[in-house]
Amino acid sequence: MLGIGERNGITPLGGLMARMIVADREYVTGKYKLHKLKAIEDLVADAVEINIPFNNYITGFCAFTHKAGIHAKAILNNPSTYEIINPADFGMSRYVHFASRLTGWNAIKSRAEQLGVEMTDEQLKMVTIKIKALADVRQIAIDDADSIIRSFHWNLHNKEEKPLLPSMNAEELKKFKAAEAEIAGEKEKRELDATVDEQADVPISKKQKV
Protein backbone atom coordinates (compact mmCIF):
# COMPACT_ATOMS: atom_id res chain seq x y z
CA MET A 1 0.00 0.00 0.00
CA LEU A 2 1.50 3.33 -1.18
CA GLY A 3 4.85 1.55 -1.47
CA ILE A 4 5.34 1.71 2.32
CA GLY A 5 7.93 -0.76 3.59
CA GLU A 6 8.60 -2.02 0.07
CA ARG A 7 12.16 -2.96 -0.91
CA ASN A 8 11.78 -5.69 -3.53
CA GLY A 9 9.72 -4.11 -6.31
CA ILE A 10 6.22 -5.25 -5.39
CA THR A 11 3.68 -3.07 -7.18
CA PRO A 12 1.58 -0.79 -4.94
CA LEU A 13 -2.11 -1.73 -4.86
CA GLY A 14 -3.22 1.43 -6.65
CA GLY A 15 -0.76 0.87 -9.48
CA LEU A 16 -1.77 -2.76 -9.83
CA MET A 17 -5.46 -1.89 -10.01
CA ALA A 18 -4.74 0.82 -12.59
CA ARG A 19 -2.91 -1.65 -14.80
CA MET A 20 -5.52 -4.40 -14.37
CA ILE A 21 -8.50 -2.21 -15.23
CA VAL A 22 -6.87 -1.16 -18.47
CA ALA A 23 -6.43 -4.83 -19.40
CA ASP A 24 -9.97 -5.97 -18.52
CA ARG A 25 -12.29 -3.31 -17.11
CA GLU A 26 -15.40 -5.52 -16.90
CA TYR A 27 -13.58 -8.22 -14.91
CA VAL A 28 -11.89 -5.80 -12.51
CA THR A 29 -14.96 -3.65 -11.80
CA GLY A 30 -17.00 -6.80 -11.21
CA LYS A 31 -14.50 -8.43 -8.85
CA TYR A 32 -13.08 -5.53 -6.81
CA LYS A 33 -14.63 -2.65 -4.85
CA LEU A 34 -12.47 -0.03 -6.51
CA HIS A 35 -14.25 2.90 -4.85
CA LYS A 36 -12.73 1.82 -1.53
CA LEU A 37 -9.14 2.34 -2.71
CA LYS A 38 -9.03 6.01 -1.69
CA ALA A 39 -10.42 5.31 1.78
CA ILE A 40 -7.91 2.48 2.36
CA GLU A 41 -4.97 4.60 1.25
CA ASP A 42 -6.15 7.50 3.42
CA LEU A 43 -6.39 5.13 6.40
CA VAL A 44 -2.87 3.79 5.90
CA ALA A 45 -1.42 7.25 5.25
CA ASP A 46 -2.98 8.58 8.47
CA ALA A 47 -1.71 5.58 10.46
CA VAL A 48 1.91 6.09 9.40
CA GLU A 49 1.61 9.89 9.34
CA ILE A 50 2.47 10.57 5.71
CA ASN A 51 0.74 12.39 2.90
CA ILE A 52 -0.49 10.62 -0.20
CA PRO A 53 1.86 11.77 -3.02
CA PHE A 54 0.28 14.34 -5.33
CA ASN A 55 1.15 12.13 -8.32
CA ASN A 56 0.03 8.86 -6.76
CA TYR A 57 -1.70 6.31 -8.97
CA ILE A 58 -5.44 7.02 -9.19
CA THR A 59 -5.81 8.78 -5.82
CA GLY A 60 -3.21 11.55 -6.09
CA PHE A 61 -4.89 14.94 -6.48
CA CYS A 62 -3.14 15.44 -9.82
CA ALA A 63 -4.18 12.05 -11.24
CA PHE A 64 -7.26 13.39 -13.03
CA THR A 65 -6.48 17.11 -13.07
CA HIS A 66 -6.29 18.89 -16.42
CA LYS A 67 -4.92 22.37 -16.92
CA ALA A 68 -3.59 23.50 -20.32
CA GLY A 69 -6.10 24.99 -22.77
CA ILE A 70 -5.94 22.46 -25.63
CA HIS A 71 -5.67 19.61 -23.12
CA ALA A 72 -8.72 20.83 -21.21
CA LYS A 73 -10.72 21.29 -24.42
CA ALA A 74 -10.04 17.68 -25.43
CA ILE A 75 -11.06 16.40 -21.98
CA LEU A 76 -14.30 18.39 -22.04
CA ASN A 77 -15.15 17.09 -25.51
CA ASN A 78 -14.04 13.49 -24.99
CA PRO A 79 -12.39 12.42 -21.69
CA SER A 80 -10.90 9.27 -23.23
CA THR A 81 -8.58 11.52 -25.27
CA TYR A 82 -6.28 11.86 -22.26
CA GLU A 83 -7.74 9.43 -19.75
CA ILE A 84 -7.28 5.72 -20.34
CA ILE A 85 -8.99 5.17 -16.96
CA ASN A 86 -12.41 6.51 -16.01
CA PRO A 87 -12.03 8.19 -12.58
CA ALA A 88 -15.65 7.31 -11.75
CA ASP A 89 -14.67 3.60 -11.67
CA PHE A 90 -12.63 4.41 -8.53
CA GLY A 91 -15.11 6.86 -7.05
CA MET A 92 -12.86 9.73 -8.11
CA SER A 93 -13.65 12.88 -10.09
CA ARG A 94 -11.79 14.71 -12.81
CA TYR A 95 -11.01 18.38 -12.36
CA VAL A 96 -10.38 20.91 -15.12
CA HIS A 97 -8.17 23.58 -13.57
CA PHE A 98 -9.31 26.87 -15.07
CA ALA A 99 -7.79 29.42 -12.67
CA SER A 100 -4.35 29.61 -14.27
CA ARG A 101 -2.25 31.30 -16.97
CA LEU A 102 -2.57 28.14 -19.08
CA THR A 103 -6.36 28.08 -19.13
CA GLY A 104 -8.31 28.16 -22.38
CA TRP A 105 -11.69 29.62 -23.22
CA ASN A 106 -13.33 26.19 -23.44
CA ALA A 107 -12.50 25.58 -19.77
CA ILE A 108 -13.88 29.02 -18.89
CA LYS A 109 -17.00 28.27 -20.93
CA SER A 110 -17.52 25.08 -18.94
CA ARG A 111 -17.11 26.99 -15.66
CA ALA A 112 -19.47 29.76 -16.78
CA GLU A 113 -22.12 27.15 -17.57
CA GLN A 114 -21.66 25.68 -14.08
CA LEU A 115 -22.21 29.16 -12.64
CA GLY A 116 -25.33 29.68 -14.78
CA VAL A 117 -23.70 32.54 -16.70
CA GLU A 118 -24.51 32.82 -20.40
CA MET A 119 -22.06 34.52 -22.76
CA THR A 120 -21.17 34.30 -26.43
CA ASP A 121 -17.95 32.58 -27.48
CA GLU A 122 -16.36 35.94 -28.20
CA GLN A 123 -17.27 37.25 -24.74
CA LEU A 124 -15.90 34.08 -23.17
CA LYS A 125 -12.63 34.59 -25.01
CA MET A 126 -12.47 38.16 -23.68
CA VAL A 127 -13.01 37.11 -20.06
CA THR A 128 -10.47 34.30 -20.52
CA ILE A 129 -7.83 36.91 -21.37
CA LYS A 130 -8.63 38.70 -18.11
CA ILE A 131 -8.29 35.53 -16.04
CA LYS A 132 -4.98 34.67 -17.71
CA ALA A 133 -3.79 38.23 -17.08
CA LEU A 134 -4.61 38.06 -13.38
CA ALA A 135 -2.76 34.75 -13.14
CA ASP A 136 0.29 36.57 -14.52
CA VAL A 137 0.06 39.06 -11.68
CA ARG A 138 -0.51 36.69 -8.78
CA GLN A 139 -1.60 33.18 -7.91
CA ILE A 140 -5.36 33.02 -8.20
CA ALA A 141 -7.99 30.82 -6.61
CA ILE A 142 -11.24 29.50 -8.02
CA ASP A 143 -13.12 32.28 -6.22
CA ASP A 144 -11.01 34.89 -8.04
CA ALA A 145 -11.78 33.39 -11.45
CA ASP A 146 -15.48 33.09 -10.56
CA SER A 147 -15.55 36.73 -9.46
CA ILE A 148 -14.07 37.84 -12.79
CA ILE A 149 -16.58 35.74 -14.75
CA ARG A 150 -19.56 37.04 -12.77
CA SER A 151 -18.40 40.68 -12.76
CA PHE A 152 -17.60 40.63 -16.47
CA HIS A 153 -21.04 39.22 -17.21
CA TRP A 154 -22.70 41.81 -14.95
CA ASN A 155 -20.84 44.64 -16.70
CA LEU A 156 -22.04 43.39 -20.09
CA HIS A 157 -25.67 43.86 -19.08
CA ASN A 158 -25.51 46.95 -16.85
CA LYS A 159 -24.59 50.57 -17.46
CA GLU A 160 -22.58 50.82 -14.26
CA GLU A 161 -19.23 49.06 -14.46
CA LYS A 162 -17.89 47.39 -11.34
CA PRO A 163 -14.31 46.12 -10.75
CA LEU A 164 -13.69 42.59 -11.90
CA LEU A 165 -11.84 41.90 -8.69
CA PRO A 166 -12.26 44.52 -5.93
CA SER A 167 -9.37 43.07 -3.90
CA MET A 168 -6.71 44.19 -6.41
CA ASN A 169 -4.47 47.00 -5.20
CA ALA A 170 -3.12 49.79 -7.43
CA GLU A 171 0.15 48.00 -8.22
CA GLU A 172 -1.63 44.74 -9.10
CA LEU A 173 -4.12 46.63 -11.26
CA LYS A 174 -1.27 48.24 -13.20
CA LYS A 175 0.40 44.87 -13.81
CA PHE A 176 -2.97 43.35 -14.68
CA LYS A 177 -3.62 45.95 -17.40
CA ALA A 178 -0.14 45.39 -18.86
CA ALA A 179 -0.55 41.60 -18.84
CA GLU A 180 -4.02 41.87 -20.38
CA ALA A 181 -2.68 44.00 -23.24
CA GLU A 182 0.18 41.59 -23.83
CA ILE A 183 -2.07 38.51 -23.93
CA ALA A 184 -4.59 40.27 -26.18
CA GLY A 185 -1.70 41.17 -28.49
CA GLU A 186 -0.61 37.54 -28.64
CA LYS A 187 -4.16 36.54 -29.58
CA GLU A 188 -4.37 39.19 -32.30
CA LYS A 189 -1.02 38.08 -33.74
CA ARG A 190 -2.16 34.42 -33.89
CA GLU A 191 -5.39 35.46 -35.62
CA LEU A 192 -3.46 37.62 -38.10
CA ASP A 193 -1.05 34.77 -38.85
CA ALA A 194 -3.98 32.42 -39.43
CA THR A 195 -5.64 34.92 -41.78
CA VAL A 196 -2.45 35.41 -43.79
CA ASP A 197 -1.96 31.66 -44.07
CA GLU A 198 -5.54 31.17 -45.20
CA GLN A 199 -5.24 33.87 -47.86
CA ALA A 200 -1.98 32.37 -49.05
CA ASP A 201 -3.54 28.88 -49.00
CA VAL A 202 -0.79 27.64 -46.69
CA PRO A 203 -1.83 24.95 -44.17
CA ILE A 204 -1.13 26.14 -40.62
CA SER A 205 0.40 22.76 -39.80
CA LYS A 206 3.04 23.34 -42.46
CA LYS A 207 3.85 26.90 -41.51
CA GLN A 208 7.53 27.33 -40.75
CA LYS A 209 8.21 28.43 -37.18
CA VAL A 210 10.81 31.17 -36.83
* Residue 129 to residue 83: CA distance in whole angstroms: 28
pLDDT in the model for residue 190: 55
Digit-coded pLDDT (tens) for 160-196: 778 887 777 888 888 888 888 888 887 555 555 555 4
Digit-coded pLDDT (tens) for 91-122: 888 777 777 777 888 888 888 888 888 999 99
Half-sphere exposure of 52 (CA within 13 A, CB side): 23
Ramachandran quadrant class, 66 (left: phi over 0; alpha: psi -120 to 50; beta: rest): beta
Q: Catalytic residue numbers? A: 71
Digit-coded pLDDT (tens) for 136-159: 888 888 888 888 899 899 888 887
Please check the confidence at residue 21 and state whether its pLDDT lies above 90: yes
